Amino acid sequence: MKKAFTLVELLIVIALIAILSVAVLATINPIEQSNKAKDSTKQNDAAEIMNAYERFYANSQSYPWMVYGDVKPTVEDPILLRSDTVGFGICSAPDPADIDDTEPGDASSACTTTDAIPGLLISKDELKTAFVGKDSFEQVRDGSHPENALWLYKDAGSGGGVYVCYIPKAKSNRDNATNELYCLSDAPDRLKAGEEGCDIVATTGNNIWGMPDGETGAIATGQAIFKCVP
């Protein structure tokens, strides 16, 4: 007589496998792991851009945003720019004849790898052309995902630090107890979480993390939702 599992035994095994699967998924939390991977990519992109700024400055004694405007910014000026604007250095710049009429922070004409006049970090070979195809640029410019933006912040003064900031997606990276989180504003100011005017935001139950201001992708003033490099 052949030995085989009974129906009851099979049901017990299936139930045990289901319980173990749920336990493993609860432990691993695939969504959190995916968000951590996205944050890691953003962190690396931010570091690469920041290094490109320093190389650009070493070669030309200026930053990409300092070529625009009737009264061009100097190295003394504080700056705050979103990644899809011309002064950031990635997305396409206006025609050279219009540079004096374009302010740092103005919207770019396009943000794709086929731009005829790419941003200065691309055109000066500080970054590869493919960099412009990342989610932090075209998806921000077209308004589909403004929360993916990177933000350039520079302190006032010739020795002012340069930072590239982003909104983390992983809950573990939104925990101010283990991460340094900052507020950004048009002032511009870069305040650490907990300082006056910079509120610590709960990691859950607050959609401020999903989009900077819920509609336009502008800066969430007074909300400590940004991680900055370095």
**Structural contact between residues 89 and 121, judged by C-beta atoms closer than 8 angstroms:** yes
Stretch 125-144: mean pLDDT:
90
State pLDDT tens for residues 6-56: 777 777 878 788 777 666 655 667 888 999 999 999 999 999 999 999 999
Q: What band does 2 get if pLDDT is binned at 50, 70 and 90?
A: low
112 vs 132: which has the higher pLDDT? 132
**Structural contact between residues 121 and 87, judged by C-beta atoms closer than 8 angstroms:** no
State pLDDT tens for residues 148-161: 999 999 999 888 89
Give me the pLDDT at residue 155, please. 92
Stretch 128-135: mean pLDDT:
89
The two tokens of residue 65 are 């945003």
Which phi and psi (to 5°) does residue 32 adopt? -65, -40
Residue 48 burial (10 A CB sphere; 0-12, 13-18, 19+) = middle
State pLDDT tens for residues 72-115: 999 999 999 999 999 999 998 888 788 899 999 998 888 877 76
Strands 199-200 and 223-224, bridge-based pairing: parallel
State pLDDT tens for residues 176-186: 888 999 999 88
Give me the pLDDT at residue 12, please. 80
Identity at 95, one-letter amino acid code = D
Which phi and psi (to 5°) does residue 78 adopt? -75, 150
